[in-house]
Amino acid sequence: MKIGREVTPKSAICTSTADTITVRGKDLCSELIPNTSFTDYFYLLLTGQAPNDTTRKVLDATLVSIAEHGFVPSIQAARMTYAAAPDALQGAVAAGILGCGPVILGASQNAGELFHRIAQRVDAGEALDVVVKATVTEMRAARLPIPGYGHPLHKERDPRVDALFNVAREAGASLRYVEIAEAIEAAIPGIVGKELNLNVSAAIPAVLLGTDFPVTALRGIPILARTASLIAHLNEETTQPAGFALSYHASQAVEFTG
Amino acid sequence: MKIGREVTPKSAICTSTADTITVRGKDLCSELIPNTSFTDYFYLLLTGQAPNDTTRKVLDATLVSIAEHGFVPSIQAARMTYAAAPDALQGAVAAGILGCGPVILGASQNAGELFHRIAQRVDAGEALDVVVKATVTEMRAARLPIPGYGHPLHKERDPRVDALFNVAREAGASLRYVEIAEAIEAAIPGIVGKELNLNVSAAIPAVLLGTDFPVTALRGIPILARTASLIAHLNEETTQPAGFALSYHASQAVEFTG
Amino acid sequence: MKIGREVTPKSAICTSTADTITVRGKDLCSELIPNTSFTDYFYLLLTGQAPNDTTRKVLDATLVSIAEHGFVPSIQAARMTYAAAPDALQGAVAAGILGCGPVILGASQNAGELFHRIAQRVDAGEALDVVVKATVTEMRAARLPIPGYGHPLHKERDPRVDALFNVAREAGASLRYVEIAEAIEAAIPGIVGKELNLNVSAAIPAVLLGTDFPVTALRGIPILARTASLIAHLNEETTQPAGFALSYHASQAVEFTG
Amino acid sequence: MKIGREVTPKSAICTSTADTITVRGKDLCSELIPNTSFTDYFYLLLTGQAPNDTTRKVLDATLVSIAEHGFVPSIQAARMTYAAAPDALQGAVAAGILGCGPVILGASQNAGELFHRIAQRVDAGEALDVVVKATVTEMRAARLPIPGYGHPLHKERDPRVDALFNVAREAGASLRYVEIAEAIEAAIPGIVGKELNLNVSAAIPAVLLGTDFPVTALRGIPILARTASLIAHLNEETTQPAGFALSYHASQAVEFTG
């Protein structure tokens, strides 16, 4: 049955014949495979353009920053899944990716949209500090979390934040969204009553939106980055099994309340 | 409950404190985020080592080669899923990754294991052409597919094969597994009765096993590569919806046999 | 690291020893396996209670109503996934379930929450028709879809709606949410400017909320129901392959715009 | 592109018009929704037939037996996933289902295929005890696990086994595969050197294959059953969060070996 308005599926990404594969206007085999890095190719697939040096440096830094942080829930879920179904690596990777949601790992998207809305109001003539204060106050009143602020382990500023801000500065990216991100961080204690410092999930959009990375694809950063880490962990699982041991220790802590 | 022998979950990948995150012995914030490409980081996560120039070039080329090939089944599954559940990008990416199996997309793992087994027998003193002929004959007798040979569109050699072989040659990788892969291709017509030429899923292990890439992680290549493409397609879906239109056209072709 | 406030994982669902498994206070082996239907067990797992006759009849009817509707997107995605990865049935089922989102298949949750909010305002003293008119007008102004109304194939009322309403009536369920659902249907033409008739995704919460089914678990109905259908389709795929043929026909319709 | 031989996607399961939905030859709205249990509908979808009383009783018992066993890995993976991405119930269910593999939860398929192969050899004239002894000896020599035997908690026979065998006996199912399953159990100590008693994953095919349930769909039993339990656990997670607490306790046990 026909669902929605669109009848013809259209795409600008790739077309192919028996002899050629054309991606974003480039011949895959003669123009891309010989000399394109995976990071550049990701950006080309996404935007249709090659990244400039600034964008490439910032994009690489964000992917490196969020890929790995030890036995976080998404890694545990994936290692348990692989232990149970070791013939389907793709299933264990998928289980890990499914934990890339708004609460942890996937908050970059929500933080980026927040920064974007604030930037638009500033563009329309409002003062940054006024917009920030109003926005945080409203979110607080609505009991919404402020995405990208506060971290269960890194109570002081998450160390990845300054590392990313430094990369952005040195690469010559616009620091506009870094300023917005820091204005929110500065406003939080007065409104929330405690510090909630910037974490990596806010720093990623803060630096990427200062390049020409599309705001709609921000959740793609933690998803792609974590996929690399998931493959590493699942490869480790083949020689050093941890999945079932993790589930054992977790289950030992369970209190039955029935 | 305790499942399996291992009681303590162990990992050599990452540890962290409130102030630092250490990945494979490097400080993430001061040593990795500032100047590591995503490709290098993937290799470091996986192996604990930085790649040399040869490995990096071959690894990038393989990731670029398999990421995108238009509206293949995994992309269609993901775009349909995102159209139905647009608030969960991670779910649509996961749906796409789940199609990375032994029949298409994930055959690199199976092809790499085949090459590896042949190489071990050659190491033990058998002649390459004898081992190849025996192996293909046995697989054929058992009605097993020969993973990485034959392609529904690229009936002549998949153009990505030579592109990857050229990268391996120019980067100075060992060509040992390329020779094994080509020996199988040459043996197929006499045994199977028709040409089944090398496709990208055999070319990927053929070049990667000539560097120091671990054979157990080969399926990680199409999974990571396709994730980049899935994010690009799903970002396109937000402005140019195709998922439901694809399902409409497919459903029009269905014959009800009940 | 510790994420969130809760330190001890607690659950009231199941506990076990070497000799016994206790589910919701019942001994699984002596009290449940011998004489419990799967529908009753689902309800027991979810709520801790056995369903009464009314709830059971309505619950069975809703599960039957939404399980299967031919080659809809979730089924196509699953059959394509299974064709590519036939050794991982669980992955193909997961791919199908991932399409249970707010746009199609999963809208029962959103419709149920809408009915619940309206019921609460009526409980607080407002008139049903006033609340309904205000609610639909606000949703329309905010360009929100009205979940559970309109269907791409069943332009007249989806035939499953009356079938479910009849089951609810004959089983003696409260018809309060059916009245709310129909009040919305009646209000839509005057506000939206065209008919958008009740579909199965609104009828499911309309009848279930008239029993003691928890509103928070409504999306579980299409997920559980569709899982049954996915298993049937994937079993058919093993003898009558359709996944790749579906993707072929869909890809034939694609227009390349790059 | 066209992959595989089949050009026309065919299905015998469902067809529909604007007014009617026909499933397996029955009108969904007038013949099925009013009076079909979900278990019966699952069997109808899968086989095209209504189950007889014996099949229904055995099918219900198997679904009830495997649905829930507390905080096993699949449940933990799902609760962690839902804690991270609470707006996508379908994603958390999918993460749980992905752990239905050959090692745990999904072993019913592998056990059923084992019983089926043994039955075929007995049909061809070999003696049961000879076939069983030869089969177990070969599997042991090949270091293959014997699917459905041994349990980490239930060292004595898993209590679900006798419960299922009793249902099969009382329902009048053929006990042929129960005999095969018990013959394997009896043969194991002499070959393996220790007892590995029947667990639920062997008991499920032992009883279902004695009805007319299709052997190819056996992994569907734990998948469908566990989906019901996953929905119950994830509904509990909304009011009694455990996902992050589970991951915290598991991570506390990790030993870093880098």
The stretch D81-101 carries a mean pLDDT of: 97
The answer to whether C16 contacts chain D (CB < 8 Å) is yes
**H or E element at residue D67:** helix D53-67
Closest CA to B204 of B257, B255, B233, B164: B164
Q: Hey, which residues does C14 pair with through a beta bridge? A: C23
Tell me which residue of A29, A229, A180 sits closest to B46, measured CA to CA.
A229
The stretch A179-203 carries a mean pLDDT of: 96
Classified as helix, coil or strand, A236 is helix
How high is the pLDDT of residue D151? 87
Rounded alpha-carbon distances, angstroms, from residue D108 to D64, D85, D115, D211 = 14, 31, 10, 15
User: How far apart are alpha carbons A227 and A133 in whole angstroms?
Assistant: 36
Residue with tokens 């094969």: B161
Of the residues C3, C17, C44, the best mutation for testing chain A's interface (the one with the most A CB atoms within 10 Å of its CB) is C3
- Taking one residue from A and the other from B, the number of pairs with CB-CB distance under 8 angstroms is 315
**Parallel, antiparallel or unpaired: strands B14-16 and C10-11:** unpaired
For residues C164 and C200, is the Cβ–Cβ distance under 8 A?
A: yes
Q: b/e map of B71-110 (b: 16 or more CB within 10 Å)?
A: bbbbbbbbbbbbbbbbebbbbbbbbbbbbbbbbbbbbbbb
CA distance D89 to A10: 30
Distance CA D16, CA C200 (A): 14
Are A36 and B219 a contacting pair at CB < 8 A? no
Tell me if C95 and B81 make a contact (CB, 8 A cut-off): yes
- C-alpha–C-alpha distance, residues A106 and A199, integer Å: 12
Q: What is the mean pLDDT of chain A?
A: 96
Q: Does pLDDT of D183 surpass 90?
A: yes
Strand, coil or helix: D142: coil
How is residue A227 written in tokens?
Answer: 């996929």
- Cα nearest neighbour of B47 on chain D: D258
Strand intervals (E) in chain D: 10-11, 14-16, 21-23, 26-27, 255-256
Give the angle subtended at the CA of C65 by the CAs of C62 and C66, to the nearest 5°: 95
Neighbours of D, requiring at least 3 CB pairs below 8 Å, are A, B, C
Q: Do B254 and C243 touch (CB under 8 A)?
A: no
pLDDT for residue D152:
84
Q: For chain C, how many residues are written? A: 258
The tokens for B216 are: 């157990």
The pLDDT tens digits for D212-243 are 899 999 999 999 999 999 999 999 999 999 99
C137-142 average pLDDT score: 96
Return residues 223-242 of D near A (CB < 8 Å). 240, 242
Q: How confident is the model at residue B106 (pLDDT cuts 50, 70, 90)?
A: confident
Mean pLDDT value across chain C: 96
Nearest residue on chain C to A7, alpha-carbon basis: C253
How close A77 gets to chain C, by Cα (Å)?
15
Decide if the complex's ipTM is over 0.95: yes
- Residue A166 identity (one-letter amino acid): N
From the list D2, D91, D104, which residue is nearest B91 (CB)?
D91
In this model, does residue B71 exceed pLDDT 90? yes
* DSSP H/E element including A179: helix A176-192
Mean pLDDT along residues D55-59: 98
Average pLDDT score, chain D? 96
Residue B132 has pLDDT above 90, yes or no: yes
Average pLDDT over residues A32-45: 98
Residues A58-87 pLDDT 10s: 999 999 999 999 999 999 999 999 999 999
The answer for residues whose C-beta is within 8 angstroms of residue B202's C-beta and 6 or more apart is B107, B108, B111, B147, B148, B149, B161, B181, B184
User: Residue A157's pLDDT is what?
Assistant: 86
- When pLDDT is averaged across residues C18-27 and rounded to a whole number, the result is 96
Q: Which of B153, B250, B258 sits opposite D15 (nearest CB)?
A: B258
* pLDDT reported for residue D154: 83
Radius of gyration (Cα) for chain C, nearest Å? 21
Residue A26, strand partner residues: A23
Give residue D156's pLDDT band: very low, low, confident or very high (50, 70, 90). confident
**What is the average pLDDT across C36-41?**
98
Q: How confident is the model at residue C175 (pLDDT cuts 50, 70, 90)?
A: very high
Specify the DSSP class assigned to residue D194.
S
CA distance A233 to chain D (A): 13
* pLDDT for the residue A105: 86
pLDDT at C4 over 90: no
**Global pTM?**
0.97
Q: CA A1 to CA C151: how far, in whole Å? A: 10
For C146-155, what is each residue's pLDDT tens digit?
A: 999 998 888 8
Please give the Cα distance from D93 to C99 (Å, whole number): 12
pLDDT, residue C104, reads: 87
State the pLDDT confidence band at A57, using cuts at 50, 70 and 90.
very high
Mean pLDDT (whole number) for B149-158: 87
Average pLDDT over residues D162-173: 98
Least Cα distance to D40 among C167, C226, C50, C64 occurs for C64
Tokens of B156: 């002549």
- What is the arrangement of strands in the sheet containing B21-23, beginning at the earlier edge strand? B14-16, B21-23, B26-27
Average confidence (pLDDT) over C30-50:
98
A81 CB within 8 Å of a chain D CB = yes
**pLDDT tens for each residue of C79-97:** 999 999 999 999 999 999 9
Residue D127, min C-alpha distance to chain C (Å) = 31
The residue count of chain A comes to: 258
Reported as a single tens digit per residue, the pLDDT across C195-234 is 999 999 999 999 999 998 999 999 999 999 999 999 999 9
Segments making up each domain of chain A, as ranges? 11-50, 52-258
CA distance D15 to D246: 45
B4:A244 CB<8 A: yes
DSSP A216: G
Instruction: Please identify among residues 153-172 of chain D the ones whose CB lies closer than 8 Å to any CB of chain B.
Output: 153
Tell me the pLDDT band of A104, cut-offs 50, 70 and 90.
Answer: confident
